Amino acid sequence: MNSIQVQKHTTLIKQKARELGFESCGVSKAEFLEEEAPRLETWLKEKMQGEMAYMANHFDKRLDPRLLVDGAKSVVSLLYNYFPKEDLAKGNGQKQNPEEESYKISKYAYGRDYHFVIKDKLKALFEFIQEEIGEVGGRVFVDSAPVMDKAWANKSGLGWIGKHSNLINRQVGSFFFIAELIIDLELTPDAPIKDYCGTCTRCVDACPTDAIVEPYVVDGSRCISYFTIELKEEIPTTVKGQFENWIFGCDICQDVCPWNRFSKPHQEPLFEPHPDLRNMRKQDWEEITEEVFRELFRKSAVKRTKLKGLKRNIRFVSSPE
């Protein structure tokens, strides 16, 4: 295939991604992630994945997309904004004293589970590629297989990896989902961009559990998101009093990041919170029933903890130290 055709296909895919509502789209050559390999190995050796055993599975596949898709030539990385119009953790924008503050859930979980919303859009993009370009093989990924999405998005020029280990984009901050298409079609790769964190350490300083053990290294087993979502047993008492009312996930390291002053509210109706979620006070959370839980989180990522897990988190955060 000549370079003009390759560029034409690349432009076509990026235009369609925009039409489907993706914030940005970047391309990398499908190859072994050489720089990531030693980092991942060290991270796993230090047991920073905690009980997330799946992180140690498929080590080779995580680092080489050609083992996931035969003949893979390109990784198409996409960003989908989820920054809400209203931050429910701040309670209608009013400054509250800590006693009045309600419990908090991560912004990404306000609305419909992102896996379903984005997978449908990815499938639509893949079908478009097959219709417009021809027989293209590949797979779509949304946080659903051993794909190092942040590494690929970084490689594709969509942002840089911040000191909190999340991807940051200069135009829109970091409140977005990352998805990929790994395909056997040659495309024009983008170049990575430089790191714009500079000397800032706000995320490192703000983490109440000291999960960011050093800039760019997060001990997953010490993160509030890990404790409230991934950990299935009781939360260790060593982190008592450190959760700042977070009961599902945590946005602290992103909330303090100066680049998120550029975050713009998403335009995805499916990410809008259930109306009742806006008015939940501490007592409502503490008395939540199976029926209310099902209604509020019917198609939400919060279902991952089940009611039992959510109640455990609420108990842990609310009980005296």
Phi, psi (rounded to 5 degrees) for 118: -80, -35
Report the phi/psi class of residue 70: left, alpha or beta, with left for phi > 0 and alpha for psi in -120 to 50: beta
Place of tokens 């920073």: 48
Count the Cβ atoms, other than its own, within 10 Å of residue 147: 23
Q: Measured on CA atoms in the order 173, 176, 182, 185, is the torsion positive or negative?
A: negative
Calpha distance 102→277 (Å, rounded): 11
143 is catalytic: yes
From the list 191, 177, 185, 169, the residue with the least C-alpha distance to 149 is 177
From the list 306, 251, 263, 259, the residue with the least C-alpha distance to 107 is 251
From the list 119, 107, 268, the residue with the least C-alpha distance to 179 is 119
Calpha distance 140→151 (Å, rounded): 16
From the list 249, 275, 257, the residue with the least C-alpha distance to 200 is 257
From 87, 143, 184, 284, active-site residue: 143
For the purposes of burial, counting CB atoms within 10 Å of the CB of 161, is it exposed (0-12), middle (13-18) or buried (19 or more)? middle
Of the chain, the end-to-end C-alpha distance in Å amounts to: 65
Beta carbons of 210 and 242 less than 8 angstroms apart: no
Residues that are catalytic: 143
